[in-house]
A = this chain, B = another copy of it.
Amino acid sequence: MGRPSQPLISRDAAFRAALTVIDREGLEAFSVARLAEEMNVKVPSLYHHFRHKGEILAGVARLIMVEADDLKRWPRGPWKEVFENLTVSAWRAMVRHRNAMPLIFQFPPRSVVLGSYERNINVLEKKGVPRHQILRLLQGMDSILMGAAFVAASADPDSTGVFPAFDPHAFPALAAVAGASDMNHEDLLRATMRTFMDGVSPDLPEENAVTAGAEVA
């Protein structure tokens, strides 16, 4: 066959195809051979673009974090509301690619994460959030986001609520309090974020005035 007129493979296309395979069939099912098949290409051709399998997997992890971060465009509005919505978007991206979660653990895309922190710091500063609160806020939200993604992604995708099906006789106290709540994972994430943001940055009347005046496009 020899070299084709149009390249059949690009690194980016390979990352996307790999993610598709992982989304559809799970991380265990992924292999270089499986990826080649998905791209209608032969295995050694992929090794022309990548040194080893780990390079592909790291690219997939990066792709997901870029997708999660890409939505963080900070439209105008009160920063808590905007920040909450953007974090939910990031959470959705991670849950959408739940099968790939271990990759984000194994190949943390540091530059993407650092870039996201950098921009969010700048926006929060412009929005008038006191400087000493900013790092606290971002790091806490990051923990909450990653935890919620981890928990939701590892949960049974078919179950409606947050808890898996359980025998109420075996866990009576849980049955009593869980029965009262019908929150899903996303509601829970929002509630946790709001409580946390209000805790770090209480809505003092003067502060609201400052924040409202310091909004950013």
Which A residues are within 8 Å of any B CB, using their own CB? 101-102, 104-106, 108, 110, 114-115, 117-118, 121-122, 125, 131-132, 134-136, 139-140, 142-151, 153-155, 162-164, 166, 170-174, 176-178, 180-181, 188-189, 191-192, 195-196, 198-200
Contacts A105-B153, A142-B151, A145-B147 supplied; 20 other A-B pairs, CB < 8 Å = A101-B105, A102-B106, A110-B166, A114-B163, A115-B171, A118-B171, A118-B173, A121-B177, A122-B173, A135-B177, A135-B178, A135-B180, A135-B181, A140-B144, A140-B191, A143-B148, A144-B192, A146-B151, A147-B150, A198-B199
Interface of A is mostly: helix
A157 to chain B minimum Cβ distance, whole angstroms, is 12
